[in-house]
């Protein structure tokens, strides 16, 4: 089955890319974000997911240079035919990243969506 829609997934690291600390409570940063494409494609058949890691940083390390890189990447993906862009980042700055990307995005396509993960 060919995909009707393509969504570009852009990962920045953060909580979603962390793993449980073997020596006790808490999380440790991972070396790379988990491969979410197979899970998403299974949940959303007919949607093609392209995945690209732009960074592997904790929330506190997200800066304006990285946000500009996200906007440049998202613009290239939309120009290449993506119907949407999802950005994963840490939960500590999720709202700030979403707000900044909304302000920085000028294309008629919706601004890149952000997604974080919290640990229980």
Q: What element of type H or E holds 86?
A: strand 84-88
Closest to 55 (Cα-Cα) out of 21, 92, 89, 6: 89
Q: Token pair for residue 56?
A: 């592997």
What radius of gyration do the chain's Cα atoms show?
15
Please report where in the chains the tokens 């993906």 appear, as a residue. Answer: 77
Structure tokens, 7: 């969504």
Q: Given 15, 88, 89, 93, which residue is catalytic?
A: 15
Taking the C-alpha atoms of residue 32 and residue 12, their distance in angstroms, rounded to an integer, is 9
d(CA 64, CA 96): 11
Q: Is 15 a catalytic residue?
A: yes
Catalytic annotation, residues: 15
């Amino acid at each position: 089955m060919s995909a009707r829609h393509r969504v570009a997934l852009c990962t920045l690291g953060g909580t979603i890319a962390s793993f449980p600390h073997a020596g006790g409570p808490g999380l440790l940063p991972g070396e790379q974000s988990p491969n979410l494409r197979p899970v998403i494609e299974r949940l959303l058949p007919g949607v093609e997911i392209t995945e690209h890691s732009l960074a592997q940083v904790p929330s506190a390390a997200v800066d304006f240079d990285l946000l500009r890189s996200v906007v440049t990447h998202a613009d290239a993906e939309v120009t290449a035919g993506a119907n949407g862009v999802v950005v994963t980042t840490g939960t500590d700055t999720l709202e700030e990243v979403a707000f900044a990307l909304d302000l920085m995005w000028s294309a008629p396509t919706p601004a890149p969506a952000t997604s974080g993960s919290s640990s229980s």
